[in-house]
């Protein structure tokens, strides 16, 4: 009898975990795998049109998607690529690239140093990740209006 109760309890606990796990995921990611890039912590308001980022399309294998490894965009606290699979959780970019607003180069900093230092800004980190790859690969939008639709 006791064993049966314990099993029932464990099964219930499992269901609770599944239920809450699922609800957190549903809140964070859109069903269609498109992320509305509208970080309200980094920007008081958005000057540009909101970027609709085809997240799932980027990591889905070719020919349906672009076949980009998770680690091309998600890395650890020393910048090393993370090995992930669909369903894994990640830290938001803003947790580390945590300077809000527009980057401004301090007058006494040389240009080369600034190239790295400006990555502290969320906006610069995102632009570097997205635009650099599109440029280097010769595919994907690099023009402002091709990512930020005109309002
Ligand atoms: C081309 C870049 C890129 C690739 C490839 C990529 N991601 Fe992401 N991912 C992002 C960005 C950008 C966000 C938004 C992060 C933010 O708002 O801070 C994000 C958000 C997420 C989130 C949180 C939102 C959600 O949908 O739940 C998870 C989890 C995630 N990615 C996991 C993955 C996994 C697992 C892979 C590989 C199967 C992957 N990502 C591939 C760029 C990418
Ligand atoms: C856990 C902390 C952390 C998170 C989360 C994080 N980064 Fe980084 N990122 C770093 C560190 C550390 C570096 C290395 C910086 C350096 O070289 O000084 C880095 C480097 C970069 C670079 C420059 C190097 C390169 O790979 O081209 C870009 C661009 C970048 N991150 C974008 C992102 C984006 C986009 C996200 C979210 C999808 C993200 N980062 C999430 C810590 C983080
Ligand atoms: C490692 C490379 C890589 C990174 C990083 C990357 N992309 Fe792309 N992106 C691509 C490729 C490849 C295509 C497909 C181009 C084609 O086939 O025309 C693409 C296409 C796109 C398109 C046009 C088609 C669509 O899916 O709507 C948009 C918009 C886009 N990317 C936005 C982003 C944003 C926003 C980020 C950063 C959060 C990002 N990309 C990061 C490689 C990348
Ligand atoms: C490959 C896609 C892509 C391209 C091209 C691009 N951006 Fe962005 N941009 C983003 C993403 C993603 C963010 C982060 C938005 C967020 O998470 O809130 C962003 C943020 C911004 C922001 C801060 C938020 C706001 O709306 O005020 C500004 C300003 C901006 N971009 C201007 C530009 C300008 C100007 C250009 C052209 C020189 C440009 N971007 C090209 C993807 C892109």
Å from CA of 142 to ligand 4 middle: 10
Q: What is the pLDDT of residue 31?
A: 75
Q: How confident is the model at residue 151 (pLDDT cuts 50, 70, 90)?
A: confident
The two tokens of residue 114 are 């600034």
Q: How far apart are CA 58 and CA 34, in angstroms?
A: 10
Q: What is the pLDDT of residue 25?
A: 40
Residue 18 or residue 116, greater confidence: 116
pLDDT tens-place string over residues 35-47: 999 999 999 999 9
Mean pLDDT to the nearest integer, 119-142: 97
Closest atom of ligand 2 relative to the 74 alpha carbon = 38
Centre a 10 Å sphere on the Cβ of residue 133 and count the other Cβ atoms it contains. 17
Centre a 10 Å sphere on the Cβ of residue 97 and count the other Cβ atoms it contains. 19
pLDDT tens-place string over residues 4-23: 564 444 454 444 444 443 33
Plot region of 76 (φ>0 → left; ψ -120 to 50 → alpha; else → beta) = beta
Q: What is the pLDDT of residue 65?
A: 97
Ligand number, closest to the Cα atom of 37: 4
Q: Is 39 close to ligand 3, i.e. is its CB under 6 Å away?
A: no
Mutate which of 116, 119, 122, 123 for ligand 2? The one with the most ligand atoms within 8 Å of its CB, which is 119
pLDDT tens-place string over residues 27-74: 455 678 999 999 999 999 999 999 999 999 999 999 999 999 999 999
Å from CA of 131 to ligand 2 middle: 14
Provide the mean pLDDT of the chain: 86
Å from CA of 55 to ligand 1 middle: 6
* Minimum CA distance residue for ligand 3 atom 24: 140
């Amino acid at each position: 009898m006791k064993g049966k109760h314990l099993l029932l309890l464990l099964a219930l606990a499992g269901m609770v975990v599944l239920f809450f796990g699922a609800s957190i995921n549903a809140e964070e990611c859109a069903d269609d795998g498109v992320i509305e890039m509208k970080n309200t912590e980094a920007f008081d308001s958005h000057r540009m049109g909101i970027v609709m980022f085809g997240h799932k399309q980027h990591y889905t294998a070719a020919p349906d998607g672009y076949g980009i490894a998770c680690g091309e965009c998600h890395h650890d606290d020393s910048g090393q690529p993370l090995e992930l699979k669909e369903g894994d959780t990640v830290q938001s970019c803003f947790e580390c690239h945590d300077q809000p607003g527009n980057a401004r180069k301090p007058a006494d900093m040389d240009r080369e140093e600034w190239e790295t230092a400006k990555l502290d800004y969320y906006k610069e980190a995102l632009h570097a990740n997205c635009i650099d790859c599109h440029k280097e690969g010769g595919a994907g939008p690099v023009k402002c209006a091709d990512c930020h639709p005109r309002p």
